Chains A and B, each alone.
Chain A
Amino acid sequence: DIQMTQSPSTLSASVGDRVTITCRASQSISSWLAWYQQKPGKAPKLLIYKASSLESGVPSRFSGSGSGTEFTLTISSLQPDDFATYYCQQYNSYPITFGQGTRLEIK
Chain B
Amino acid sequence: QVQLVESGGGLVKPGGSLRLSCAASGFTFSDYYMSWIRQAPGKGLEWVSYISSSGSTIYYADSVKGRFTISRDNAKNSLYLQMNSLRAEDTAVYYCARASNYGDYFPPYFDYWGQGTLVTVSS
The answer to whether A binds B is yes
> Is A55 in the interface zone, CB < 8 Å from B?
yes
Contact flag A99-B44 (CB < 8 Å), given A43-B115, A43-B116: yes
> Is B31 in the interface zone, CB < 8 Å from A?
no
Q: Mark A42-63, 1 if CB is under 8 A from B, else 0.
A: 1111100100000100000000
Interface residues of A (CB under 8 A from B): 32, 34, 36, 42-46, 49, 55, 87, 89-101
A92 partner residues in chain B, CB cutoff 8 A:
107
Query: Chain B: interface residue count, which band?
Result: 20 to 34
Q: List 21 A-B contacts (CB under 8 A).
A: A36-B45, A36-B110, A42-B115, A44-B95, A44-B110, A44-B113, A46-B111, A49-B100, A49-B109, A89-B110, A91-B108, A92-B107, A94-B50, A94-B107, A95-B47, A96-B35, A96-B47, A96-B50, A96-B107, A98-B46, A99-B44
**Contact indicator A45/B107 (Cβ below 8 Å):** no
List residues 84-123 of chain B with CB under 8 A from any CB of chain A: 95, 100, 106-116
Closest CB of chain B to A7's CB: distance in Å?
14
From DSSP, what is the main secondary structure of chain A's interface residues? loop
Q: Which 8 A-B pairs have the closest CB atoms?
A: A43-B113, A34-B109, A96-B47, A91-B107, A98-B45, A49-B109, A101-B44, A100-B44
